[in-house]
Amino acid sequence: MKQPHDPSLQGYGRHLWDVETEPTAEHPITDATHELGAARLENDERFWRTAIATWQTLLQAKPRHPETLRYLKSCQTKLAQVLVLLGRHEEAAKQNQAALATGRLLHSATRKTGSGSKKATTILVCLALLTALAVVLLFNKVSRQRAQTRGAQQGDALESRQEVLFSERQHVRAGTTAADGTTSPSGHITLD
């Protein structure tokens, strides 16, 4: 008969849940299997207690730091799960209470830092919008200046081209209206 799987114990003791409690011919339960599972759980307990001590030490340096509180709460919850699997329900209840208290601290710490981060985010968004507006205005100004410069240059080029064409027409007219009607190869009127 398998024990029911508790979803709150995800990842911990799963190998123990899969072991049948009554021996069968296929999977005989030995004392070694129980000892191995208990040894793993005791190692897990030591690990989580050490992790909790580490995070509590870090909290002394930075009280109410949200990330540290989050990790501490997670470690306390995992230790409580391991203690339940070890059958020490009173200790598990104390760890759950500690995890709940840490959760309340975490909630109040994130709520306070949350409003500050909202203000900072709002300020950053406003600065980004102002910067974008300044870039667009600067781009428009530069584009207008380029268009004016290009227009002036095109106007000067057109004007000089018109002058050249005008002077060429004058030379042609002057050459055809000359008395003898001859023009030199350079386009000047020659009087021979």
CA diameter of the chain: 136
Q: What is the pLDDT of residues 30-52, one digit of tens each?
A: 555 567 778 888 888 899 899 88
Query: From the DSSP assignment, how many helices (H) and strands (E) are in the chain?
Result: 4, 0
In terms of phi and psi (left: phi > 0; alpha: psi -120 to 50; beta: otherwise), the region of 187 is: left
Give yes or no for a contact between 43 and 21, defined as CB atoms under 8 angstroms apart: no
pLDDT reported for residue 178: 52
Residue 128: pLDDT band (50, 70, 90) is confident
Q: Are 182 and 192 in contact (CB under 8 A)?
A: yes
Helices 31-61/66-86 angle, 10° precision: 160
Range of lowest pLDDT (7-16, 110-119, 137-146): 7-16
Residue 52: C-alpha distances to residues 73, 74, 124 (Å): 9, 9, 36
Instruction: Output the six-digit token pair for 109.
Output: 């710490």
At 65-113, the pLDDT tens digits run: 888 888 989 999 999 998 888 888 999 999 999 999 988 888 888 776 5
pTM, rounded to two decimals: 0.43
